[in-house]
Amino acid sequence: MKCILGLDISTSITGATVLSLDGDVLYNEAWDTRNKNKFPTLFHKAEFVKEKILQLTLAHDLDSVYIEESLQSFRSGFSSAKTISTLAKFNGIVSYLVFQELKREPIYLAATSARKLYGVKVPRGTKAKQKVLEHVLDNEKSFLIFYTRNGNPAPDTYDRADSLVIARAGLELWKQTKRESES
């Protein structure tokens, strides 16, 4: 069965979601690379992510891969220029690994575009991550959420939710492309 993969790439936790073309969630996990002893460099993190991608390619017939576009500009009070640069490097490395393993280029989606395609509304002044999580919890019955002992969502929760949004938006784009090719 053909599937699509949605990735929310980060140097700390990468979210990954596989959807069937019917929209069933087949996989929704987070790949944690925060351990500096186990993953001292971007290349060690990339090797780990490569293994995960290989496992997904063996388990699923991936038709398309959608990746959240990395941040494009510096915003005061948010990520530093160094962080943005590091994220862009890692996004590029993982994108190449996807191409290498699947022999097809990933498709990039801006987070705001993906949210809009999935129907997530983020009013001005609210935290997008929180609104995304609320939307996913309201609309995805299979989405599992775990909490820390302080009652906060576990660290990987937002990454899994973001990858699900990317996958759902990717599926919508895939369907639009298919409809256009048939007409």
168-177: per-residue pLDDT in tens?
999 999 999 9
* CB neighbour class for 31 (10 Å; exposed up to 12, middle 13-18, buried from 19): buried
Phi first, then psi: give them for residue 60, nearest 5 degrees.
Answer: -135, 145
The three-class DSSP label of residue 123 is coil
List of residues 6+ apart from 42 with CB closer than 8 A: 11, 86, 89, 90, 93
Structural domain boundaries enclosing 126 = 2-182
pLDDT on residue 79: 61
For 13, the token pair is 């936790």
Q: Give the mean pLDDT of 4-18.
A: 97
Indicate the average pLDDT of the chain.
Answer: 93
User: Is the CB of residue 101 less than 8 Å from the CB of residue 53?
Assistant: yes
User: Is the CB of residue 176 less than 8 Å from the CB of residue 37?
Assistant: no
Domain count for the chain: 1
pLDDT on residue 123: 92
User: Is the CB of residue 44 less than 8 Å from the CB of residue 103?
Assistant: no
71-123: per-residue pLDDT in tens?
654 444 456 778 888 999 999 999 999 999 999 999 999 999 999 999 999 99
24-45: per-residue pLDDT in tens?
999 999 999 999 999 999 999 9
Q: What is the CATH number of the domain that holds 107?
A: 3.30.420.10
Characterize the bridge pairing of strands 107-109 and 61-68. parallel
138-172: per-residue pLDDT in tens?
999 999 999 999 999 999 999 999 999 999 999 99
46-77: per-residue pLDDT in tens?
999 999 999 999 999 999 999 999 865 444 44
Which is nearest to 143 in space by CA: 17, 31, 21, 22? 17
The three-class DSSP label of residue 64 is strand
